[in-house]
């Protein structure tokens, strides 16, 4: 049974809004990488060309990590959407079409086929999306790669069908066309019995990977729960435990801590500053605490959120550029006393979530040559905006996975 009081439709509609926002941000991320590289190399009089080239390469690596993070988020959105659409579809034929469509889309494949086991004859019947099989669609379960998977229960990934002893073109190829590479995986019901085999053909770019195989097995576990149902009663959401485990693993892989540490380090490098700190607001205690603090030697800095430059920025929401920290009455000298550091110049920007609420502050200290300028202000503003969006997306999905896991425990 589903979790009582849980409004899945409401959560799903919220995921669609978040998905649209994230897709727009994915385009902004690549653009931001270009802007950062431009800012890093625009002033050749301050830094040698070799340093600029190295910095640009380091930034490229950093944004590759950010891109990977966003790709994982996109996969999670896709799996959430799959759970919803498969559970909501009442027409058995349309549901099988959805299985074929979603499976191919998940691993970026060109085509897919579903071999459903007839419980009476134990033979396999093939279904290809939007196509009719011209030859017989009924054959023994021990013939071809589909038959091997149905008999052995193993998932098989094939990069060259001609070299696979189980591949049989009359069964595994004719439903679609010429097969270049493929994955075949079994669909098991709740009792563990194999009820169908799902084959995915022809990766659009290159060969299938172990990650594709991993995701397809999770998808197959979800598809198995609905593939043979005549209809879905009511609007109850059915979620396989395998799918929940995979989604939880993906969510735990959203390692924002390491990414944020790297982004802060690269911010300091690009801006030619000594160190930087990422402060987040603890709304429970009304304090600022250091999520990332370069070079302090202290696990965590924590203070009332109205104190210091970071406190001013976190409460007022304005970017602040200070050329001489000790001449500014807002500066909190106690942090220098505690850390043994001497602060000269400060650049600090607010971090906001997607609805404009301030959730923290990003602070860079001690420009190595001169003071922070307008280019630095644009740079820290761009970084702060990205940090806020990454934190929001990751936390949103972690919360959603937790709720869905609770639902799975009560099924």
Q: Do the strands 346-352 and 358-367 form a parallel or antiparallel pair, or are they unpaired? A: antiparallel
**239 against 274, higher pLDDT:** 274
- Which parts of 4-132 fold into alpha helices (H)? 8-41, 49-88, 92-106
Encode pLDDT of 90-137 as tens digits.
Answer: 888 888 888 999 999 999 998 888 888 888 888 888 877 655 443 346
Stretch 367-394: mean pLDDT, rounded? 83
Angle at 242 between CA 182 and CA 130, to 5 degrees: 40
Give a yes or no: residue 340 inside a domain: yes
> Does residue 205 sit in the same domain as residue 289?
no
> Does residue 135 sit in the same domain as residue 206?
yes
Question: Domain total for the chain?
Answer: 2
Q: Quote the tokens at residue 88.
A: 């909501």
**243 against 411, higher pLDDT:** 243
pLDDT category, 52, cuts 50, 70, 90?
Answer: very low
> Does residue 126 sit in the same domain as residue 218?
yes
CATH of the domain at 359: 3.30.450.40
Query: What pTM was computed for the model?
Result: 0.62
**57 against 234, higher pLDDT:** 234
Which residues are paired to 126 by β-bridges?
A: 115
pLDDT category, 41, cuts 50, 70, 90?
Answer: very low
Q: What mean pLDDT is reported for the chain? A: 77
Give a yes or no: residue 304 inside a domain: yes
> Does residue 279 sit in the same domain as residue 366?
yes
Give a yes or no: residue 406 inside a domain: no
Give a yes or no: residue 212 inside a domain: yes
Give a yes or no: residue 250 inside a domain: no
Strands (E) in 252-294, as ranges, are 273-282, 287-293
**352 against 12, higher pLDDT:** 352
Give a yes or no: residue 315 inside a domain: yes
Sign of the C-alpha dihedral, residues 145, 150, 151, 156? positive
Give a yes or no: residue 208 inside a domain: yes
> Does residue 301 sit in the same domain as residue 206?
no
DSSP label of 131: B
Instruction: Return d(Cα 359, Cα 315) in angstroms, integer.
Output: 10
**41 against 406, higher pLDDT:** 406
Cβ atoms of 34 and 60 closer than 8 Å: no
> Does residue 221 sit in the same domain as residue 110?
yes
Domain that holds residue 216: 90-231
Residue where a domain terminates, one of 337, 355, 371: 371
Q: Give the DSSP letter string of 152-168.
A: H---EEES-GGG-TT--
> Does residue 218 sit in the same domain as residue 276?
no
The gap from C-alpha 320 to its chain's centroid, in whole angstroms, comes to: 32
Residues 6+ apart with CB under 8 A from 84: 8, 12, 237
Residue where a domain terminates, one of 206, 231, 256: 231
| Order of strands, sheet of 320-322, starting from the edge strand that comes earlier in the sequence | 302-304, 287-293, 273-282, 358-367, 346-352, 320-322
> Does residue 149 sit in the same domain as residue 219?
yes
> Does residue 218 sit in the same domain as residue 277?
no
Give a yes or no: residue 181 inside a domain: yes
pLDDT category, 347, cuts 50, 70, 90?
Answer: very high
Residue where a domain terminates, one of 355, 371, 387: 371
Stretch 293-302: mean pLDDT, rounded? 72
Q: Rounded to 5 degrees, what are φ and ψ at 226?
A: -125, -5
Residues 6+ apart with CB under 8 A from 56: 37, 40, 41
Encode pLDDT of 245-262 as tens digits.
Answer: 777 777 766 667 777 787
């Amino acid at each position: 049974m589903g979790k009582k009081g849980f409004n899945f439709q409401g959560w799903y509609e919220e995921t669609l809004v978040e998905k649209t926002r994230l897709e727009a941000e994915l385009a902004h991320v690549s653009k931001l990488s270009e802007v950062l590289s431009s800012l890093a190399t625009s002033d050749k009089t301050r830094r040698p060309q070799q340093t600029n080239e190295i910095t640009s390469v380091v930034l490229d690596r950093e944004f590759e990590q950010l891109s990977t993070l966003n790709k994982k988020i996109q996969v999670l959105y896709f799996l959430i959407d799959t759970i919803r659409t498969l559970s909501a579809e009442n027409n058995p034929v349309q549901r099988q079409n959805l299985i074929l469509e979603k499976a191919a889309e998940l691993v970026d494949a060109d085509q897919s086929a579903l071999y459903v086991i007839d419980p009476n004859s134990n033979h396999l019947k093939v279904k290809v999306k939007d196509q009719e099989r011209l030859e017989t669609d009924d054959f023994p379960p021990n013939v071809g790669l589909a038959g091997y998977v149905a008999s052995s229960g193993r998932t098989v990934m094939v990069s060259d069908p001609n070299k696979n002893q189980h591949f049989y073109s009359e069964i595994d190829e004719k439903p679609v066309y010429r097969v270049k590479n493929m994955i075949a995986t079994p669909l098991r019901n709740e009792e563990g019995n194999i009820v169908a085999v799902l084959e995915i053909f022809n990766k659009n770019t290159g060969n299938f990977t172990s990650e594709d195989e991993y995701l397809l097995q999770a998808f197959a576990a979800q598809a198995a729960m609905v593939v043979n149902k005549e209809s879905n009663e009511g609007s109850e959401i059915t979620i396989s435990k395998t799918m929940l485990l995979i989604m939880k693993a993906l969510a735990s892989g959203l390692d924002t801590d390491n990414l944020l540490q790297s982004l802060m380090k690269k911010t300091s490098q690009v801006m030619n500053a000594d160190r930087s700190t990422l402060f987040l607001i603890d709304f429970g205690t009304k304090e600022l605490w250091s999520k990332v603090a370069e070079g302090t030697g202290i696990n965590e800095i924590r203070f009332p959120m109205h104190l210091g430059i970071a406190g001013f920025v976190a409460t007022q929401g304005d970017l602040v550029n200070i050329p001489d920290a000790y001449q500014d009455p807002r500066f909190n000298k106690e942090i220098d006393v505690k850390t043994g550091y001497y602060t000269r110049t400060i650049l600090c920007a607010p971090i906001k979530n997607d609805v404009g609420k301030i959730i923290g502050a990003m602070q860079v200290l001690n420009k190595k040559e001169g003071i922070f300028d307008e280019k630095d202000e644009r740079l820290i503003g761009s970084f702060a905006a990205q940090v806020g969006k990454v934190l929001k997306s990751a936390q949103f999905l972690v919360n959603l996975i937790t709720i869905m896991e609770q639902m799975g425990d009560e099924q």
